[in-house]
Amino acid sequence: MSKKLIFTAALLSLATPAFAADIIEPAPVVKAPIVPAQIFSWTGFYIGAHGGGAWSKWTGIDPTDPTATWSSATASGGIVGGQIGGNYQISNFVIGLEGTGAWSSVTLNAGGPFGGGAGFNLSLKNDYIATVAGRFGVAFDRVLLYAKGGAAFTRDKYSVNNGLAGPLAGSASGSFNRTGWLAGGGIEWMFVPNWSVRAEYNYMGFGTITEQPVTTGNLVATPANVKLNIQTGTVGVNYHF
């Protein structure tokens, strides 16, 4: 019996290292690092183009009609231009500064404060609209809602003739630059990296200035106080650097 026990113990002692060698250690599990999702930011500079419509309202007295009374007239037309600016985002708030310049076809061709009387041919227009304004907005990832306010610039181009011929013919003309204020707002969407589209509305007030046209021939013009406001509605596209 004792020989059998000794023999069995010897076999077990020989088999144990072989059995242990057959146990394969599992490979360690390596977890991929967690990369936080990149947060979109509106910070940076941009340049773009815009187009749309504009509506002007002149209020005043016709300088070529001494019998005229204070009245108002409206005109509309298209605008096409560009913009350049920069944004800086803090949390989900965005502040920025933007400058715009646009060609305008807003033209009044008859009636109103510069009607000139029967038989007169009139053209009164705003041939450009420019602004420099600050922007403040709230970003919802790639969508930005913003308000803006600042300075606005435009020009009244006045031209009229009395429709007569010979020694009775007369005309008046003048260009009058204006500076005013702007308030507006819009929405902008970054639809692909670096490119956004936007829609915007602005109201511009230019107060009252004195306009004195230069006359030729048989036409007299007196200084006239003229007030102006302009509204614009535009859509645009921006490229962000």
Q: Is residue 13 part of a domain?
A: no
CA atoms of 141 and 204, how far apart (whole Å)? 30
Q: Is residue 138 part of a domain?
A: yes
CATH number, domain with residue 125: 2.40.160.20
Low-confidence ranges of the chain (pLDDT < 70): 1-38, 66, 110-118
Q: Is residue 18 part of a domain?
A: no
At 46 the pLDDT is 98
At 19 the pLDDT is 46
**Stated pTM of the model:** 0.81
Q: Is residue 8 part of a domain?
A: no
Q: Is residue 107 part of a domain?
A: yes
Number of structural domains, the chain? Answer: 1
Is-contact 81 53, C-beta < 8 A?
Answer: no
Q: Is residue 21 part of a domain?
A: no
Q: Which domain holds residue 54?
A: 42-240
Q: Is residue 104 part of a domain?
A: yes
Is-contact 183 208, C-beta < 8 A?
Answer: no
Q: Is residue 88 part of a domain?
A: yes
